[in-house]
Amino acid sequence: MAAGTRDSIVDVGGVLVGHHQRLDERWATGTSVVLTPGGATAAVDVRGGGPGTRETDVLEPTHLVAQAHGVVLTGGSAYGLAAADGAMSWLADRGYGFRVGEHAHEVVPVVPAAVLFDLPMGDWGNRPGAEFGRLACDAATAEESREGNVGAGTGAVAGSLKGGIGTAGEVFHSAALGIDVTVGALFAVNSLGSVIDPETGLPWDGHPGLRAPAEAEVVAARARTGPTAGRPSRHGTASRPLNTTIGVVAVDLALTKAHCKRIAVAAHDGLARAIRPAHSLADGDTVFALATGEREPGAQWVPVLDEVCAVAAGVVRRAIVRAVLAAEPVGEVTSYTSLYPSARE
């Protein structure tokens, strides 16, 4: 991590992040926004078999609109797509959006969104609406780097453990351009698959700062989180395995929609490294890619894009692992640190 960075998606210039959530005895859900008010070139890649999305068609490289002004990640299953209404109106009130008229306020903000399934974590009907999106935008800053039970990660479950929000960033020196480039990711992890190897009690490819947990903890965890355990809910009753990991990758270069599409595709490599199995029919795994910068790769776009894609996959993997490590228990859904306390000692 470079000096002065937060190891977060907000390290990418032009990116703001905000969260709003409600967590009490009757609620466990929330909304996260990644705002690029001035516009960012955007694309999306959907790999899961059960996605819940909005405004993804507009991001296809052959379609008219080139930029998005924000991305909404939210709980609430398909109902939660209403949170994007609040984000859209928040941006429109401030004059941000695709200009469709002569006057400054005549804009249509482009705000794609994706949802995850967290309905069993609260009372039925308690899910994000437009107000969640607006409040998440109100809270958006270039310093937000919280993880765990915030925003869209509030009611998330990853395998048999509490999921959450995770973020990571990396500054690398581009050999092709001769400059430093920043890549960041923000993910809400609510996966069918596990982020933790049950044989070791560690993330699949390891993680700095962790050590192998005590054997007794690993054995006890296998009994609690094995393949027959089902998807836990707040009150301990296994629910249908409906899940989804959703996220955003951003880079501070000026890229085309086609370039961003390739980054979103590569980001799924990081998702598959972190979560096993990934991209199931019960997941709606969706990744958005944003390019916020002014520096164009020019004739060097092929090696630059390969560099960015390789870094993006690693950053996504770290963000997903960190989401689970930062999560705290909700009701009877236990967390990694509760199940493997010795791993951090």
Structural domains of the chain, ranges and CATH numbers in brackets: 9-344 (3.60.70.12)
pLDDT at 2: 54
As a whole number of angstroms, the distance between CA 331 and CA 322 comes to 21
For the cut 70, the answer to whether the pLDDT of residue 296 exceeds it is yes
Which residue is listed with tokens 């001769």? 178
pLDDT at 233: 81
Residue of higher predicted confidence among 27 and 243 = 27
pLDDT at 3: 45
- Mean pLDDT confidence for 199-226: 90
Element (H, E) at 287: strand 286-291
Confidence at 5, pLDDT banded by 50, 70, 90: confident
DSSP-derived 3-state class of residue 23: strand
pLDDT at 232: 81
As a whole number of angstroms, the distance between CA 129 and CA 257 comes to 29
- Mean pLDDT confidence for 4-26: 94
Question: Where are the strands (E) in 163-219, listed by range?
Answer: 164-174, 179-190, 196-197, 202-203
**Spatial CB neighbours of 184, under 8 Å, sequence gap ≥ 6:** 8, 9, 10, 11, 12, 15, 167, 168, 169, 170, 249, 250, 251, 315
Element (H, E) at 324: helix 301-326
As a whole number of angstroms, the distance between CA 182 and CA 176 comes to 14
- Mean pLDDT confidence for 308-337: 97
DSSP-derived 3-state class of residue 20: strand
- Mean pLDDT confidence for 70-74: 98
Could you tell me which of 228, 223, 246 has the C-alpha nearest to residue 238? 228
Q: Characterise 77 by phi-psi region: left (phi > 0), alpha (psi -120 to 50), beta (else).
A: left
Backbone angles phi, psi at 119, to 5 degrees: -60, -35
As a whole number of angstroms, the distance between CA 100 and CA 97 comes to 9
- Mean pLDDT confidence for 243-270: 97
For the cut 90, the answer to whether the pLDDT of residue 141 exceeds it is yes
For the cut 70, the answer to whether the pLDDT of residue 104 exceeds it is yes
For the cut 80, the answer to whether the pLDDT of residue 205 exceeds it is yes
pLDDT at 345: 64
Q: Let me know if 210 is exposed, middle or buried by CB neighbors in 10 A (0-12, 13-18, 19+).
A: middle
Q: What is the number of other CB atoms lying within 10 angstroms of the CB of residue 224?
A: 12
pLDDT digits (tens, 9 = 90+) for 128-139: 999 999 999 999
Contact (CB, 8 A) for 32 and 186: yes
Residue 62 identity: T
As a whole number of angstroms, the distance between CA 232 and CA 145 comes to 27
Q: What share of the chain is helix, strand, coil (3-state, %, to 5)?
A: 30, 30, 40
- Kindly report the pTM of this predicted structure: 0.96
Contact (CB, 8 A) for 35 and 254: no
